[in-house]
Amino acid sequence: MQERIDRIKDQLHAASYKLTPQRESTVRVLLENEADHLSAEEVFLKVRERSPEIGLATVYRTLELLAELKVVDKINFGDGVARFDLRKEGAEHFHHHLVCIECGAVDEIEEDLLGEVEKKVERDYQFKIMDHRLTFHGICHRCQK
């Protein structure tokens, strides 16, 4: 935990930003809720439990900054709110998501399923792929029962 924070601190410094207490609180919330896909508002509420004086705008600015540094991915499942998802360290790609249309749960797929597909796309469309976003919509294993 601490070492991941240190790593993020380094990334911030490398881009000449500081790890302020507010930013650290925000990062901690993200780390503690790594399995979820929190919205800015949700992050804000959790951060405020620990640092009641923090402002919503600061959370937005911090999340924006972390997205810029590729510490988090900003994702949008079409419900009108941006959600934030910590990247696995060293991951160069966005991971994939399974969105359940019954219960709304969002599960993750860590493995990269698109290796072959990307080769084909780069070849057939002369498109240099930098990143991808893949989401499946359907019924999760829990709701199938």
Partner DNA sequence: TTCGATGCAAACCATTTGCATTAAC
Partner DNA sequence: GTTAATGCAAATGGTTTGCATCGAA
| DSSP assigned state of 13 | H
d(CA 116, CA 72): 25
Which range binds its own copies by CB under 8 A, 21-29, 41-49, 58-66, 129-137?
129-137
Query: Does 99 sit near DNA (CB under 7 A)?
Result: no
Kindly state the tokens that stand for 21. 């207490």
Query: Does 78 sit near its own copies (CB under 8 A)?
Result: yes
Which parts of this chain interact with DNA (CB under 7 A)? 17-18, 20-23, 39-41, 51, 53-58, 60-62, 64, 80-82
Which parts of this chain interact with its own copies (CB under 8 A)? 74, 76, 78, 98, 101, 107, 109, 113-114, 116-118, 120-121, 125-141, 144
